Structures are given as C-alpha cells and as structure tokens.
Chains A and B, each alone.
Chain A
Amino acid sequence: MIKAYRVAAILAAIIGLHHANAAELNVYAAASLTDAMNEVAAEYGKQSGDKIIFNFGASSLLARQIKEKAPADLFFSADEAKMDDLQKAGLIATDTRRDLLSNSLVIVVPNDSKATIASPGELLGKMEKIAIADPKAVPAGIYTKEYLSRLGLWEKLEPKMVPTENVRAALAAVESGNVDAGFVYKTDANISNKVKIAFSVPAEKGPAIRYPIAIVKDSVNKTGAENFLHYLESENARKIFEHYGFIVKF
C-alpha cells in the first residue's frame, strides 16, 4: 500500500516537472485556418519544444471567450471587426497586431450536383437552400452578406439561407447534400473533396478579407507567443499558407 503511494508520488513529480519545462501555447484561430495552422504548428514543433494547443472556431465565438478571460496567448481572427473589438476592450497587445493573410469567397455545390452558376444572381432560380456561416456574427457570413448586399441580392436570397455556426459547418452542410450550395472560403473548398467550386468571387469585386493576428495582453507565455508569431511570417509558413490557397500579406 505505502509502496504504491510512493510510486504514484514520484510519477506525479516527473509529470509535473515535464510540464514545467515545456511551455504551452494557446492559439485561438478562425475555423477556416484549421488545416493550414495544424501543418504550420507541426513544422514549428520540429524546431521548438513548445506545445501548441489550438482552439478553432468562429472568430466571434473565440473573441467572446477571450473577453471572458479564456487563457489565450494568440488570437488569429478572420476579420478585423473582432480584433478591433478586443483592441477597444484593451485585451490585446496592440503593437503586436498585424495582418497576415487574406482569402477569397467561393460558392460551392455538392460534388454530384449538376448545377452551374455564372453569377450569384443565378442562385435565385436554381437553389432552394444555401448554407452560410451565421451572418450575424461569423466573419465568413458577414463578408458574404456584405458582398451580396452590394450586388442588391441579399434581400432576395436571405429566405434561402441556412445559417451555420462557423464556416466549416457551412462546408459540411454542402458536403452532406442537405443544402444545394454554400458560401465558404476558397481555402475551405480546397480541402474538401466532396464539394466543387461553382463560382469564385473575383478579388476586385469581392469583400476585403483580412486575417489579423495579435498577442493577447494577459498571455502567460508572451515569449512563446512572440516566437510562434515570428515563425508564422517565415518562408516555411508562407509556403504552407499558399499551398492551402491563402493570399499571404507579408
């Protein structure tokens, strides 16, 4: 009995020591960055001992969590509004903020769909249900609404919209075939082999999509955050981002 306790105590000490040495980095990043960031972090892990823990989700959800003091070290948002929000609340280290990436919007349809879309206006006649990240809060949805409003199509298309919690959920809805089409980022369309792009929003006509990143003011691992942020602007990282289809802004 006593021997078992001693072994357990020693094990606990070893585990505790191990944790004390390797730093953890909590990175809160937009859902659309999931695959690219996982790969970047894997590469980063080869040269640094830091363990990167991701929290992927809608930028609106992540921003709210940070406002409620969730233990984030870095915030990588899919639009400026969420970052501005946190900046106004004094929750980010303003001097570390910068725009890293951009993206473009596409309309995707299930792989077995026979629909062709020459312009967004055609959605009116051909589509019953269109998936979109919640346009009330999620960047991808906000960008889409902005774009369609500019074209004068939003009012007419709104009844067809099926809002989802984040852009990956919109992608999944299209993959499942339960909606006829969806608005997602080009990078999301790229990673899925169950959907195909029916229409690409041209860069000049589309909304200005910006992915800002910043270190959270209350971060407990500022050094680790700086190191990782620096790595995100390196050649290695750029190659990975471009591979996934992101437009690199640095």
Chain B
Amino acid sequence: MLLAPGEWQIVRFTLAACALSTVLILPVGLAIAWPLARHRWPGKLLVETLVTLPLVLPPVATGLLLLKFFGRRGPLGNFLHQQLGIDIVFTWRAVVVAAAVMSFPLLVRSARVGFQSVNQRLEQIARTLGASNARVFFTVTLPLASRGIVAGIVLAFARAVGEFGATILVAGNIPRKTTTLSLEIFESVQLGHDATAYRLLLLCIVIAFGAVWLSEVLMKRSQLR
C-alpha cells in the first residue's frame, strides 16, 4: 500500500509540524499545569477557562481568533510582518500555531491530573533531605507525574495530527506548503477521489496505533528505573 511521492511529503510535513507544535507547548503546558494542580491563586479560574477555550469553542471559531491575532493586520501578525518580515497566516507556521493552540488544553489537563496524583508527602521528604524546589520538581514531581504527562503529550500530538477547522482558516490548503493529512483527505473527498481519501484514512489509523503504542512503551520505561 504505497503512497504517491506527493502524499509522502504531506505525511512528513504533518508529522513534522505536529511534532514541533507538541515540543513547543510542552514547557508552557507543564508550567501552567503545575500551579493549576497545586495552589489556589487569584485569577486561577480565568486561566483555567482560557486554557479550556480551544477545547470547547468550535475549531473554526478558534481559527477565526487566530486569524485576527496573527493576520498581517492583527496585533502580533502586524509586528512580525513589519519588523521581521515574517508571515504566519497562509504559511507552515500557521499550521504549527493552529495545532499548538488546539492541542494545548489536552496536554494541560492530562499533566494537571498527573501532578495531582503525586504524593505530596514524597515531595516534602525530598525537601527534608535538602533538595531545592527546582530539584524536587525535576527529580520527584516530574517523574512521578510522568504517566499523566506522557498521556497528555500523546493526546496533544494526536489532536494536532487530526486538526482541521482552525488550520484551514488560518493556514489555508496550499499544495506542498500547508497541506496536512486532514486537509488532503478533505480535498480528496471534495474532488471525488475516494480511493486516495481511503488510503490516507488508513494511514491516519496507522499513525493512531503508533501513537498509542509509543505511549505504552514510554509508560513502561518510566516505571523501570
């Protein structure tokens, strides 16, 4: 079941863009999940709502917000275009941005549960043994939360690969530049190329299996140290 060269390019691009978006949201996601899991602080409800927004809004609505913000006339887009000559909308960067924004809530939610499951007594013991807060976080909290965090990463990656609504608005479907797996399946169906659509669908299933398998492997490894 071989793919045409053009299709391989689309698969490579999709996987690369989604890997990048996942890597980008990881430090930010953990930095937000941690205080959400542990403490009470003013503005917490607001942050929780903002983080959950992409999960609850229709993806095209989120795409519209991104378009307004990152477009050449939008606050950030204008700065990037004028000062740095960089465009986001209708380029591969928009694919990464859309994937990152849409998958972010999934990472945060899972990581938060992961952090909440860590026995705080163990963190306290680590402190009695002289560990600084940073050391406690990296040597005790993070490893013990890894179940939830890895699950969050896999979910976020899978969501990124499946992203469509926001992507089509903010990146368009430009052949060889912003066409992702989802967009290609959509276009194939639109044009009546059913055989292509089904082939790509099968590929999506393979990727899904791969993601779940990888997460299981990572889980086992994290328990063996």
- Contacts from A to B (Cβ < 8 Å): 61, 64, 128-129, 136-137, 161-164, 173, 176-179
CB closest residue in chain A, given B176: A159
Say which one of B21-29, B33-41, B124-132, B167-175 lies at the interface with A.
B167-175
The reply to whether B90 and A178 contact each other, CB–CB distance below 8 Å, is yes
The reply to whether B73 and A129 contact each other, CB–CB distance below 8 Å, is no
A164 contact set on B, CB distance < 8 A: 172
Bound CA–CA A64/B73 (angstroms): 36
Bound CA–CA A136/B174 (angstroms): 12
Q: Report the interface size for chain B: residues with CB under 8 A from the other chain.
A: 15
B172 contact set on A, CB distance < 8 A: 162-164
**Secondary structure of the B contact surface, majority rule:** loop
A61 contact set on B, CB distance < 8 A: 190
**B95 located at the interface, meaning its Cβ lies under 8 Å from any Cβ of chain A in the complex:** no
Bound CA–CA A179/B72 (angstroms): 9
The reply to whether A177 and B73 contact each other, CB–CB distance below 8 Å, is yes
* Chain B nearest CB, measured from A165 CB (Å): 9
The reply to whether B72 and A178 contact each other, CB–CB distance below 8 Å, is yes
* Chain A nearest CB, measured from B67 CB (Å): 8
A163 contact set on B, CB distance < 8 A: 172-175
**B89 located at the interface, meaning its Cβ lies under 8 Å from any Cβ of chain A in the complex:** yes
CB closest residue in chain B, given A135: B175
* Chain B nearest CB, measured from A89 CB (Å): 12
A128 contact set on B, CB distance < 8 A: 87
The reply to whether B191 and A162 contact each other, CB–CB distance below 8 Å, is no
Provide a sorted-by-A list of 10 A–B residue pairs whose CB atoms are within 8 angstroms: A64-B190, A136-B191, A161-B174, A162-B90, A162-B174, A163-B173, A173-B90, A176-B72, A178-B72, A178-B77
The reply to whether B191 and A137 contact each other, CB–CB distance below 8 Å, is yes
Bound CA–CA A198/B25 (angstroms): 42
A64 contact set on B, CB distance < 8 A: 190, 192
B90 contact set on A, CB distance < 8 A: 129, 162, 173, 178-179
Bound CA–CA A33/B77 (angstroms): 33
Binary A-proximity of B150-189 (CB < 8 A = 1, otherwise 0): 0000000000000000000000111100000000000000
B173 contact set on A, CB distance < 8 A: 163
Max chain A CB contacts within 10 Å: which of B71, B87, B90, B173?
B90
Query: 14 new A-B pairs (CB below 8 Å) besides A61-B190, A161-B174?
Result: A64-B190, A64-B192, A128-B87, A136-B191, A137-B190, A162-B90, A162-B174, A163-B174, A163-B175, A176-B73, A177-B71, A177-B72, A178-B87, A178-B90
Bound CA–CA A176/B90 (angstroms): 12
Bound CA–CA A162/B77 (angstroms): 18
